[in-house]
Structure 1
């Protein structure tokens, strides 16, 4: 019997091995989400050192999420061909190397390239956690497990700005690139210790490379067009070409995925109403999570004059409260209709965004921290319920592609959410090179509106 078969792990650790496995994949998730958000508090310092405007600097966040979104749909193929142990360990090791190399970047282009490479590897890692949870836990305990695992998804962006602020103020912005490496290196060790070898035989079928290229072109063309819209003078031809290219490649991608035998995106899964509506909710979750995490540090530093450390500390109470809410939300997801939990979470987050939109220069630190707490409680209710609503109806052999798809849609919402927020800020009023508080208010109203629009499809999820 292999020392890392399911039977051997259960014999060695008892029922605890499932939680060791969850802790292992949570490290990968925390590292990826930490990397996606920790850079936000360093943006003013990076802009100052390299002499770049917000329109270029936001690619440090958008490029990461766009790359992560593009590679997420490869998860099903990788798991079928190599199993979770080899794939996750290799991805964690590569992520560590890229993070350290990115910290030594000498130009903004090198730093953006490192962030894009980080995102591409992160996209391989993140769906594997959800896949593992739904494979090793029985149906009636999946919500609880997602509640524990989800702490890594939500706590990382809550605590990331706090850590980033301390690193920026006490050391240097480059340490925000170095920070995830120790986490993923520890993860490599834990993968080989706690994750099982593949139970089912590994499969062999061709990878949908053409589909991946078409998807990447769609995302890159559309995001490039949105980026150029921030400075439209002289860019009209490029903007039009980018939008046309995005629409064309999207149509070609959907046609291919419907016809190819082994598609990158299992379109047939989206024909199931609960799975489809949960994925629409995941788009709103991604926009809320990444849009607000990008916006809050920039808002309080640029418009309210906070230091990087104070901007990071603003998110600390939200992270602590979320740590208490998430396991409760996970247990509720096992016992109650996911629809009600998701709608409650959306309403709370929308309330938080509206409160930020009404905030002015006189509002104190404690009130702003409270607005952040309300929003994070809302996100805490959304994630476990969206996962159980989407994946519980699926068969075991569909979980790899299902987890990749819902992670993809969540990150897609994040990628476009950050771009829309950045576009709104760029078109708003500026004082020098920085957006005014009025521009930030408009961005907050935009985020609240998009989240509320998703209430209708979420309402159609079956209880």
Structure 2
């Protein structure tokens, strides 16, 4: 046993899994936390498919529909690190189970809601409970698995997260088309019940002897406020204008909040995030890598769905099926990546993964209006192959390089990195798309000899072209409508190509950052807890 000094010396902790039964068994623990985490990952993408149906059924405004997504994302991103600290303090089993129950209950409440305001309110609750659940899942894996098996466990966990994220549009499309938009949320209820039953039977609470005993309340307020201002600026920047006073005010408030937080953390007795954690270059590199990976992945995936549905005219289900090469490759490659990282260490697989991701992004920048399924599938599969080792390896580098008593905070950092990176990628690449469309649409429109547009009409046309929709007015002659559609789709694809080039450059930077990573130096702290 190598980890006994880091955890409480309970007699049941040192028994082999076969003698313990189900309670605390590592692989059953993995299954349990994967079921719970699957709900949160699915909701990150599945709800986007349901938004049009929600808008129509509830008479919601465009702003209401945006807040159905933004409210969830804000609550999740702001709360993750604090939620991880709660797990370190009170035990990850307890916070995981509370998160599962709360997330499932909020999901059921959304399905029963009769107004957009209620849907938004319960989506915020979903985000808060999801924040409890996700870091706790990683904390449980970190405490349960020995060092030599941790990468494989995180690989399978990452496979579930990746498959759920990419598979959300498929499942959401089927449920909305065949059942109702409410079913997108109701499906979380039986999944939550299953995760709760498994958790009560299987999960064992692991707490480090030197786990935190108090709360850094001011630190929580400063970090939460800074995170809120940063995410809010990213969400609303395109609406306010990136150079507007409101956007700059929120960015400035975020920077000030982070600076004050860092200063406070050096003075408080039990800080929310001990800044010494970042003296670990691998941990810091892993966090940056997670942000850059999510920037490229989530930002790029945002445009792929518009490309498939609005340019190629696919249904939600068909577009989801076209993403199966991405989903399938992540499912296959994640456990393989875990095994490779265990054998070789994380550096080579992480660098290779980001190189593959960069190549895929550059390849996707060459997509055209008429690109066929086979070509798209090649690039989607390569993207899945590249993302798998990064999802696994960066997670292990962050969690494995943190002390056991801070595994929840480390799990919160990992998840917060993904949320910040995804928000940043969507905002920056969205701005790239908007700039490209606004500069190219007038010339393309004139070259097609279409009736000239007033400045107001041109601005309105640019807004819809940014998501691949042709600005065709009712009653437009078919020939003219076809020319407008051709101009709109060509302009959108040009902007998408530029966005993918930027994502590819970010992926190259991430490959350089990955060279600073190494195996978790504290992973052996979990080696004495259970046998595989």
Query: Scaled by the length of structure 1, what TM-score is found?
Result: 0.89
Residue 296 of structure 1: which of 289, 295, 304 is its match?
304
Residue 335 of structure 1: which of 343, 352, 362 is its match?
343
Q: 1:356 to 1:254 in 2, by over 3 A?
A: same
2: CA distance, partners of 1:14 / 1:180: 25
> 8 Å contact 1:162–1:312 — kept in the other structure?
yes
By how many angstroms is 1:105 displaced?
Answer: 4.1
Residue 270 of structure 2 aligns to a residue whose secondary structure is coil
Residue 229 of structure 1 aligns to a residue whose secondary structure is helix
Aligned length: 461
Answer with 1 or 2: which has the greater Rg: 2
Instruction: Deviation per CA, 1:224-243: give whole Å up to 9, x if none.
Output: 33344323479933223222
- More deviation, 218-227/162-171: 218-227
Match for residue 444 of structure 1?
500
2: CA distance, partners of 1:302 / 1:263: 48
Residue 454 of structure 1 aligns to a residue whose secondary structure is helix
- More deviation, 125-134/205-214: 205-214
Match for residue 310 of structure 1?
318
By how many angstroms is 1:160 displaced?
Answer: 1.3
Q: 1:222 to 1:109 in 2, by over 3 A?
A: farther
In the alignment, is residue 433 of structure 1 matched against residue 464 of structure 2?
Answer: yes
Residue 386 of structure 1 aligns to a residue whose secondary structure is helix
Match for residue 264 of structure 2?
256
Residue 233 of structure 2: which of 222, 225, 232 is its match?
225
Match for residue 378 of structure 1?
386
In the alignment, is residue 406 of structure 1 matched against residue 414 of structure 2?
Answer: yes
Q: 1:235 to 1:185 in 2, by over 3 A?
A: farther
* Gapped regions of structure 2 (runs ≥ 5): 1-9, 438-460, 469-491, 520-532
> 8 Å contact 1:81–1:202 — kept in the other structure?
no
Counting only pairs closer than 5 Å after superposition, residues 44-443 of structure 1 correspond to structure 2 as 44-46=52-54, 50=59, 52-53=61-62, 57-198=65-206, 205-232=213-240, 236-429=244-437, 430=461, 433-435=464-466, 436=468, 437=492, 438-443=494-499
- More deviation, 60-69/11-20: 11-20
- More deviation, 193-202/177-186: 193-202
Residue 172 of structure 1 aligns to a residue whose secondary structure is coil
By how many angstroms is 1:28 displaced?
Answer: 1.6
> 8 Å contact 2:100–2:133 — kept in the other structure?
yes
By how many angstroms is 1:295 displaced?
Answer: 3.1
Instruction: Deviation per CA, 1:345-396: give whole Å up to 9, x if none.
Output: 1111222222222211211233323322211111111122223333334433
> 8 Å contact 2:286–2:397 — kept in the other structure?
yes
By how many angstroms is 1:66 displaced?
Answer: 3.0
Match for residue 516 of structure 2?
460
By how many angstroms is 1:159 displaced?
Answer: 1.4
By how many angstroms is 1:141 displaced?
Answer: 1.4
> 8 Å contact 1:165–1:311 — kept in the other structure?
no
Residue 230 of structure 1 aligns to a residue whose secondary structure is helix
Match for residue 477 of structure 2?
none
2: CA distance, partners of 1:178 / 1:424: 37
Q: 1:360 to 1:37 in 2, by over 3 A?
A: same
Match for residue 41 of structure 1?
49
1: CA distance, partners of 2:334 / 2:89: 33
> 8 Å contact 1:62–1:419 — kept in the other structure?
no
> 8 Å contact 2:93–2:204 — kept in the other structure?
yes
Instruction: Deviation per CA, 1:158-184: give whole Å up to 9, x if none.
Output: 211110111122233333233333222
> 8 Å contact 1:34–1:180 — kept in the other structure?
no
1: CA distance, partners of 2:13 / 2:390: 34
Q: How well do the aligned residues superpose, as a CA RMSD in angstroms?
A: 2.9
